[in-house]
Amino acid sequence: MARSNNSFIKKQKADKKAKKKREKLENRLERKQQETSGKLEDMIAYVDEFGNISDTPPEPPTEKDDKKKPSSDERRRAEGHQSRRPYNPDRRRSDNDDRDK
């Protein structure tokens, strides 16, 4: 009579588990043996304006002679336009008096 296939499968699983455990131990030892500086400068990465990652810091931006563009309100004032009055909810229009009557 043939032996149960169950014990063979159990042995295969145990061998596979032991092999995986040995590999993990070897990997752990390899990582410990590798030298790491642990310095902050080695861990820093920089991202440039295009999204590329590099180890070197980006060049400082050059200052341009361009002035800030004036806002639309500043342009109106410079051109002599009257500015709008701010909204006042308490102010009553004369038109509303005629409508209430």
pLDDT in tens, the chain (101 residues): 566 788 999 999 999 999 999 999 999 999 999 877 778 877 889 988 888 998 888 887 777 655 666 677 676 666 666 666 777 777 766 555 555 54
Is 45 within 8 Å of 53 (Cβ atoms)?
yes
Q: What single-letter DSSP state applies at residue 43?
A: H
**In a 3-state reduction of DSSP, which class is residue 54?**
strand
Name the nearest CA neighbour of 81 among 94, 90, 72, 92: 72
Is 19 within 8 Å of 12 (Cβ atoms)?
no
